[in-house]
Amino acid sequence: MAAVAGVVAVAVWYFAIRTPEPRDDFGRFQGEWKLTVADRAKQAPITVRVSGDKWTWLVGGTDQKRYAMALRPDTSPKEIDLTQLAPDDSPQQERRDGKFVPVVLRGIYTVEGDKVKVVTAPNPHPRPTAFDATDGPPVWVLELQGR
């Protein structure tokens, strides 16, 4: 009888109580992440919020930039593209004929539990191909905040 009660308890937990882990990379990206840049001792605290296909940079709790996120987990290495959704106030923001030209960050990523590593390069630079290139762009390390 005790064994049956144990099996029932595990079944209830498994099917009704537990929160299943996302089965795909898109699901794993959802949430708020603390972003650090590898090999940089000092930096402002940055949070990245991913909701659906939207990637938002938050600095000091304030939305700074928003991107549309596209993943290609079937490539090797896995690829990520971030396309800026709105212009920023930067004088470097490209415009053609007075119209906003979105920045596209093309990169690669890897998911390791509650950590993600991302390396990107803005257009027109080529997509990075490795995380350990000594002369390449910096590696972003994202740590999931409370799932």
CATH of the domain at 95: 2.40.128
Per the structure, the complete domain to which residue 80 belongs is given by 22-144
Give how many domains the chain has, as a whole number. 1
Q: According to the model, what pLDDT value does residue 19 have?
A: 47
Quote the CA–CA distance of 11 and 28 in Å, as a whole number: 25
3-class secondary structure, 136: coil
Q: What is the pLDDT of residues 37-74, one digit of tens each?
A: 877 666 778 899 999 999 999 988 888 899 999 999 99
Q: Is residue 117 pLDDT above 60, yes or no?
A: yes
Q: Is residue 22 pLDDT above 70, yes or no?
A: no
Residue found by looking up tokens 């795909």 in the block: 24
Q: Is residue 12 part of a domain?
A: no
Average pLDDT estimate for 28-44: 84
Q: Is residue 38 part of a domain?
A: yes
Q: What percent of the chain stands above pLDDT 70?
A: 79
Residue found by looking up tokens 């498994």 in the block: 14
Q: How many CB atoms neighbour CB 116 within 10 A?
A: 22
Q: Is residue 11 part of a domain?
A: no
Q: According to the model, what pLDDT value does residue 142 have?
A: 94
Beta strands at 62-72 and 54-59: parallel, antiparallel or unpaired: antiparallel
